[in-house]
Amino acid sequence: MVLPDIKSQAREELAARFAEWTVPAYRLDQLLHWLYVRRVTSWDEMSNLPRDFREKLREHFSLQSLELDTKQGSRDTTQKFLWRLADHSLIESVLIPANPSLYGEASDRHTLCVSTQVGCAYGCKFCASGLEGWKRNLEPHEIVEQVLAIERDYSGGTLPTNASRSSEDRLKAGLQTGSERLVNNLVIMGMGEPLANYDHLLKALTILNAPWGGGIGARKITISTSGLVPQIRKLADEALQFRLAISLHGATDEVRGKIMPVNKKYPLKELAAACEYYQKKKGRMITFEYILMAGVNDSLEQVEPLAKLAQKLHAKVNLIPYNKVEGLPWERPSEPVQEQFLKNLEARGVTATLRREKGHDIDAACGQLRLKTERSLNTLAQ
Ligand code: SF4
């Protein structure tokens, strides 16, 4: 029998179970402290819980942690983690310091880009994650663990070189005692379409947001979607104030439809209406992610409809120069073309940024490290 994992349980669920077991309420706080503050990986480490209670927990719940397969760091200190799950599937998380050393600033604040599925069914033409299809949804604890496992790794490991000595020491000491969080921003933008794993994602984010869990503010959590219209509307009706980012990558159905099959099911008009609903319900600015691909969506003809859409929805536009994926034909536009696109957007009154892909030298575009590792494992197995 497969046991449910303890880190897929909300506090109320555990409280109800402990009440049935007639376990005193304070034991729940002790357990949650071990899980989310001390980030332990075994029941035996929970030294202030009575042995028979630990046995009971062991009988009813699993306590899985992610196994690190590969870690890659890049010059600008973005780091990519390839994790092996209990069923040997591979997933990725990318850790991005707030101020890369490239710009000469120190920071102990980090954004973590989290995966939500093994593979992806949505098949965006520019993306490595969708290349070999969808395998399964991640369980809530597998999403939660991406944060905890990286913090565990850092508490014993070396911090990025851009962290100043004093903040490095403070952070490391804090991580070891559990009084500090390394990850204070989440972007749900890794492998998979987050809103296609809606229930598990919401459960995981509820745990990561809760004061008894991760304690990461909902406003520091951005959910990115390729444009699943019904789920965007559903998310708008949730109580938590997550930020929403849309992987747009094309401002007309013609261009978007060429690179994102999802656009056939949910064309731009429907997507824009769902975004408007989200924006009105939450009163928050939406972000459009727009990967600039040479000769595909970087022409000035895309600027006008993109500007109109952004203004209508009070959306900010993040322009991201394409990150080359092995085996795919797309190229990144030249820097003057990127700059021109940005300038033309700004001239139309749109708030826009042009981002250098921080993990360019470590295959940080989603799914690439996993794809490479799986392919080389398959080759070895042949
Ligand atoms: S961009 Fe996102 S939705 Fe599209 S294939 Fe890649 S992981 Fe899936």
Give residue for tokens 């990561």: 208
Which comes out higher in pLDDT, residue 66 or 168? 66
The protein residue whose alpha carbon is closest to atom 7 in ligand 1 is: 192
Known catalytic residues? 92, 366
Average pLDDT over residues 45-53: 97
Q: Token digits for 38?
A: 């001390």
Distance CA 272, CA 291 (A): 18
Per DSSP bridges, beta strands 287-292 and 352-354 are unpaired
Contact 252, 305 (CB under 8 A): yes
- 51-72 in b/e burial notation, b at 16+ Cβ within 10 A? eebbebbeeebebbbbeebebb
**Band (105; pLDDT cuts 50, 70, 90):** very low
CB 124 near ligand 1, within 6 Å? yes
Q: For the residues of 249-287, what is the DSSP string, one character each?
A: --SSHHHHHHH-THHHHS-HHHHHHHHHHHHHHH----E
pLDDT, tens digit (0-9, with 9 covering 90-100), for 178-221: 667 889 899 999 999 999 999 999 999 999 999 999 999 999 99
Cα–ligand 1 centroid distance for 191 (angstroms): 7
Please give the number of the atom of ligand 1 that sits closest to the Cα of 130.
5
pLDDT, tens digit (0-9, with 9 covering 90-100), for 25-44: 999 999 999 999 999 999 99
Average pLDDT over residues 49-56: 97
Per DSSP bridges, beta strands 79-84 and 90-97 are antiparallel
CB 223 near ligand 1, within 6 Å? no
Please give the number of the atom of ligand 1 that sits closest to the Cα of 120.
8
CB 123 near ligand 1, within 6 Å? yes
Given a cut of 90, whether residue 174 has pLDDT beyond it is: no
Contact 365, 325 (CB under 8 A): yes
- 156-169 in b/e burial notation, b at 16+ Cβ within 10 A? eeebbebbeeeebe
Given a cut of 60, whether residue 362 has pLDDT beyond it is: no
Q: How many CA atoms lie within 13 A of 261 on its CB side?
A: 10
Given a cut of 90, whether residue 357 has pLDDT beyond it is: no
Given a cut of 60, whether residue 266 has pLDDT beyond it is: yes
Given a cut of 70, whether residue 117 has pLDDT beyond it is: yes
Distance CA 206, CA 214 (A): 9
Tell me which residue of 7, 160, 138 sits closest to 71, measured CA to CA: 160
Q: What local confidence, expressed as pLDDT, does residue 158 receive?
A: 56
The protein residue whose alpha carbon is closest to atom 4 in ligand 1 is: 124
Q: 283: left (phi > 0), else alpha (psi -120 to 50), else beta? A: left
pLDDT, tens digit (0-9, with 9 covering 90-100), for 316-347: 999 999 988 888 889 999 999 999 999 999 99
